[in-house]
């Protein structure tokens, strides 16, 4: 059975204005789904955390005009992990789409899970990173492994 967000054997996600969409083959599962409480994620989400999934960059197909997709590099001196990350966003609607951490040589793409219609239900997070930034009014998600660092089992 396929839904509107699944097409041609892919799972589709898109920015707020639809100018840029992402397609992931249905045969590819993320290597990790996790909650990130780092200050960058909080600031970008204006909330307590972002939920993101890690895919091999080679499996993420980006549809949309190159000039609409903009990048901003957050220097390692300003990230909790200490390494640069390149944040990609739609310049029409401002929606952040994904980041590419330089420490993985561009091989992994960290995609915001809620861009995909079924993403939050399909890929429940199994880890929480930088929990020291988690506000007291937020509880740990059920079944997650917590870390005060960039964690990552099997990534």
Which CB atom, from 15 or from 88, has the smaller least distance to Zn ion? Answer: 15
Q: Output 16 or 26, the one with its CB closest to Zn ion.
A: 16
Closest approach of Cβ 40 to Zn ion, in Å? Answer: 5
User: Least distance from C-beta 148 to Zn ion, angstroms?
Assistant: 13
Tell me, by CB under 5 A, how many residues bind Zn ion. Answer: 9
Among 22, 24, 32, 38, binds Zn ion (CB under 5 A): 38
Contacts of Zn ion in 47-106 (CB under 5 A): 90, 92-93
If one asks whether residue 131 binds Zn ion (CB under 5 A), the answer comes out as no
Residue among 129, 56, 62, 130 at smallest CA distance from 97: 62
**Smallest gap from residue 26 Cβ to Zn ion (A):** 24
Closest approach, Cβ 15 to Zn ion, in A, equals 3
Whichever of 41 and 131 has its CB closer to Zn ion, that residue is 41
Q: Does 36 bind Zn ion (CB under 5 A)?
A: yes
The 3 state secondary structure assigned to the chain is CCCCCEECCEEEEECCCCCCEEEEECCCCCCEEEEECCHHHHHHHCCCCEEEEEEEHHHCEEECCCCCEEEEEECHHHCCCCCCEEEEEECCCCCEEEEEEHHHCCCEEEEEHHHECCHHHHCCCCEEECHHHCCCCCCCCCCCEECCCCCCCCC
**Near Zn ion in 6-35, by CB under 5 A:** 15, 17, 19
Tokens of 9: 């054997």
Q: Which residues bind Zn ion (CB under 5 A)?
A: 15, 17, 19, 36, 38, 41, 90, 92-93
């Amino acid at each position: 059975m396929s839904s509107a967000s699944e097409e041609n054997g892919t799972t589709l996600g898109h920015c707020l204005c639809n100018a840029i969409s992402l397609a992931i083959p249905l045969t590819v599962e993320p290597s990790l789904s996790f909650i990130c409480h780092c200050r960058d994620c909080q600031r970008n989400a204006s909330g307590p955390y972002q939920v993101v999934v890690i895919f091999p960059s080679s499996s993420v197909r980006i549809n949309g005009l190159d000039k609409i997709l903009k990048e901003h590099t957050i220097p390692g001196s300003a990230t909790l992990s200490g390494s640069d990350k390149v944040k990609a966003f739609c310049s029409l609607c401002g929606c952040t789409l994904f980041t590419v951490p330089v420490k993985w040589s561009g091989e992994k793409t960290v995609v915001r899970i809620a861009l995909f219609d079924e993403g939050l239900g399909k890929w429940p997070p199994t880890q929480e990173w930088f929990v020291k930034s988690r506000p007291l009014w937020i509880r740990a998600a059920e079944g997650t492994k917590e870390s005060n660092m960039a964690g990552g089992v099997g990534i």
